Structure 1
Amino acid sequence: MQLSQTTKVATKTTVMPKHIASDCVKFYKIAYRLRYFVWVALPIIFYILWQIDEKFLRMWGLWIFITLIIQKGLPINQTILKFCETVSDTPTHLVVTQNSTKICVDYDNIQRVDYLFGWGWLNCYYVKITLKTPWQIGNHIYFVAWQDINNRQKSSETLAWIDRLQTIINKN
């Protein structure tokens, strides 16, 4: 009985895991870099198959063309490259990794924290941290929390973490 009470207390005090950012951003970045391959490779494959069988053009041509148009029209743009792969929370600072650049951002350098919804390619909530003085990665830190992947509602864990960070910022 004491074990279950201890567990309840432990889950109430643990707001978010130490590693905050989700790894899924890595896959979005890979997809962004491969989009030009799709635009070159699919038409070549399409042409080869058309030379082999002309019926292929009538059957699958429209489907491939629509797929290419949709892929080109998706709002996967360079903003995905600004998102951080890892964000770790320590008592005095945030450890951030973006495109193999690892930095430590003190809480004193954080100006504000926003919790925004990413339309299009992201389709979930993300955290935007504005810095007072810019670092190597820029003036903003963007990341998607673990709780927010495939979630169209604000997660209570991320909101609690943002509130805790906001109180630390207000003290400084």
Structure 2
Amino acid sequence: MTRELAERIRAAASERGWTVTTAESCTGGMVSAALTDVAGSSSIFERGFVTYSNKAKTEMLGVTPSALDAYGAVSEEVARKMAEGALHEANAQFAVAISGIAGPGGSEHKPEGRVCFAVAGPGGISAETIEFGAIGRAEVRAAATEHALRLIAAALDREALSRT
């Protein structure tokens, strides 16, 4: 399913001359890898950001230390800032951001399997949190990657419809 989603994203963005970027934490570049596994992806994907640490989120995406202190890295607020920063830094039309706790571990307030997503584009920015549960590190990362691709595809579809 991941490959099909990536191909759908490539086709939809390429048809309209749009570019996509990523800001990834817990997925460590898996969304970027999925997008670039598709032939022709260079027409829609120039760069992505793997910002695993808070320092990287600040330096590469402009997430403020005060936002990280107030909300924590695994929050919709920080995911929004990551998406906005990636959109700006990559000069892209669409960005997806992912930050979560793949495991093992977590806490009472931020359990294993919690992943926050944000998508930014011409139509604005939205964020959501998905609780994948303690299904295992690899499984959380794979599920988060697929979900992020679905979010990008949906954002592309919405924008295409709004312009018709």
Q: TM-score, normalised by structure 1?
A: 0.25
Greater Rg by CA: 1
TM-score (norm 2): 0.26
Name the structure with the higher strand share. Answer: 1
